[in-house]
Amino acid sequence: MTAYRQLTEEELLARLQSGEHQFVERKPAAQKDVIQRVAVSFANSVKSPREGVLFIGVDDKTGKPNGKLGDDLGKAQRDVRGYLDQCYPPIPYYMTLVNVEGQQVIAVVVTESSQTPHFTGKAYVRIGDSTIDASEEKIQELVEERISVVRDLRLWIGKTVTFATRITMRSRLQSTVHRYWSEDDGQIESVTPYFIVWKQLDSSTKLSVSLDQVKLTWDTQKDRLKVWLP
């Protein structure tokens, strides 16, 4: 998983001013159920290098500070941290204060998680600028993506990758065995916890193999994923 660089105050202000969308939510107060719901939806939805940012203490339409956090920002931050600590599995995030028009507001930055799905009573995902209940199908997909190979391969669905296949050849007299690796271009079509299906680009032939037999590395020459097949 890609390591995240923490956003600067200028970058956070730009996000705040961009309005609400798939990666930004603005809330006027530190309400437990609202904060948990939004943070869980981000953790179940964002993928590196993007992150989701929840601003607390601002008007949800204008993004301007509303003073509802009170004078004790330390307590407000402790409250938010306590709410997020009740989510399971733990949500990957960091929290910081942002100076907006002379007032400080809270920014909760949620990064990509390898432990989906996250819950707080229900599981939520992010669709457009809305937080919605995750369907049974989406929850199953999130559970499957806990398997790192499944998660990594699904990032390449519809894209071209290098498939390396081990070839064994014998001489006519069966006395000499030659083994080598053949590399071909292929496009991943689907990935389950049990198998991968791909299409050979030179012939359009579809193939599949058990997922527990593949190994993943990086094709440094072509700058893309390499899948090693048995």
Q: What is the pLDDT of residues 66-123, one digit of tens each?
A: 877 877 889 999 999 999 998 988 999 999 999 999 899 999 999 999 888 898 877 7
Question: Which domains does the chain possess?
Answer: 9-136 (3.30.950.30), 153-229 (2.30.30)
Do the Cβ atoms of 193 and 147 come closer than 8 Å?
A: yes
What integer best gives the mean pLDDT of the chain? 88
Residue 1: the pLDDT is 47
pLDDT average, residue stretch 120-141? 81
With a cut of 70, say whether residue 27 has pLDDT above it. Answer: yes
Is pTM beyond 0.85? Reply is no
Q: What's phi and psi for 148, nearest 5 deg? A: -60, -40
Residue type, 73: L
pLDDT average, residue stretch 22-50? 93
Orientation angle between helical segments 32-43 and 73-85, nearest 10 degrees: 60
